[in-house]
Amino acid sequence: MRRLFLIFASLSLLSACQAMPQNADATQAKVQIDEASGLTQSIQHPNLYWTHNDSRNFFDASPTQAVLYAVDAQGQLHGELWLEGVKPYDWEAISHFKQGGLPYLLIADIGDNRARRSRGIRLHAVNEPKSIEGKISRKPAWTLELRYPDGARDAEAMAVDEHDNAIYILSKRDEKPQLYRAELPQNIDKERKSSQMLRLLGSIPPLDAPVETTEPGDLRVLPFTHQPVDMAFAPDRSEVALLSYAHIYLFARSPEQSWLEALRGTPQVIHLPGARQYEGLSYSADGQSLLVVREGVDSASAVPMLRISAPQLAQKVGAPSSAR
């Protein structure tokens, strides 16, 4: 089996932000991205990506702040975008899309470890800024409140298909992950809010690839290596990638297939180093690389970033998952 050529960018432990950043240098000195949980490419800045922290305990003295971080493929920080009037509950994913010719970022506040959010989950859309220098803060363009048709559940994987005007969410803790769909809001009221009932499209087979690595793993995640923690659509819509704590699953998609049909196919599997808290997944703007962020801290950059380049994607390193 060929091994992936993996390019690592480590992460630096920086003091937590206590105030709105005034400039890029100040941001580098204060920001702390120690629970990265979501990743998406930037539309405005093709060489950059947006990430955010997972939500800490809701009652912590210093709860998670509503801020997005612009980073490059090496994990270096380039800017911050603060969301006004938003209090994160459990931010788990981020995606991007265009609507009316304008670029947006969609933040998924969908985490629900104990399936207690019976009143629903929230998605916040914000216009992506052209400039990421200096102090940047914006109110959400809109907030979408969603409810599951079959009761509250945990999810961390979300992606937008602007061509379908649709948002897709994949459940985390079901043995067979459930795929849900919502429509991108078209008409928003003065309150910038709307609500929908998610539509259950169906289940997909378990993500059951064995853990194959010589690197140490994280004992906390080993029992949960089959759970999907992020999802990304290839820029040309020919593939969908799912991330777990130990693998990336690549599902090919033909033009006539739905995303559910693609996800029910036989994936190619990329074995990641160790079993760790990999939490965010994105294609590069040209679709030639996959990038992954994980939780944790180091000393070389703002966030730990793993990059898988085009030759490895072309080789589809790994064996197909067996249970199909």
Cβ atoms within 10 Å of 11's Cβ, excluding its own? 24
Residue type, 266: T
3 state SS of 259: helix
Number of domains in the chain: 1
117, amino acid identity: R
Does some domain include residue 264? Answer: yes
Q: How confident is the model at residue 289 (pLDDT cuts 50, 70, 90)?
A: very high
In angstroms, the CA 218 to CA 70 distance is 27
Please give the pLDDT value at position 322. 47
283 part of a folded domain: yes
∠52-109-39 over CA atoms, to 5°? Answer: 35
Residue 321 lies in a domain: no
The pLDDT score that the predictor gives to residue 135 is: 74
DSSP 256: T
Q: Would residue 242 count as lying in a domain?
A: yes
Q: What is the mean pLDDT of residues 184-208?
A: 91
pLDDT value, residue 62: 59
Q: Quick one: tokens of 19?
A: 């105030």
> Domain for residue 324, yes or no?
no
**Global pTM value:** 0.87
Residue count (the chain): 324
Looking at residue 57, its pLDDT comes to 52
Listed in sequence order, the residues at least 6 apart from 231 whose beta carbon sits closer than 8 Å to its beta carbon are: 93, 157, 158, 159, 168, 170, 240, 241, 242, 243, 281
**In terms of Cα–Cα distance, which of 51, 20, 11, 1 is closest to 282?**
51
What integer pLDDT is reported at residue 264 of this predicted model? Answer: 98
- Residue 311 pLDDT class (50, 70, 90 cuts): low
pLDDT in tens, 49-65: 999 998 755 455 556 78
Query: CA-to-CA distance for 297 and 303, rounded, in angstroms?
Result: 7
Give the residue numbers spanning the domain of 12: 6-315
279 in a structural domain: yes
Asked whether residue 231 is assigned to any structural domain, the reply reads yes
What CATH number is attached to the domain comprising 303? 2.115.10
Residue with tokens 């649709």: 166
Per the domain annotation, does 285 fall within a domain? yes
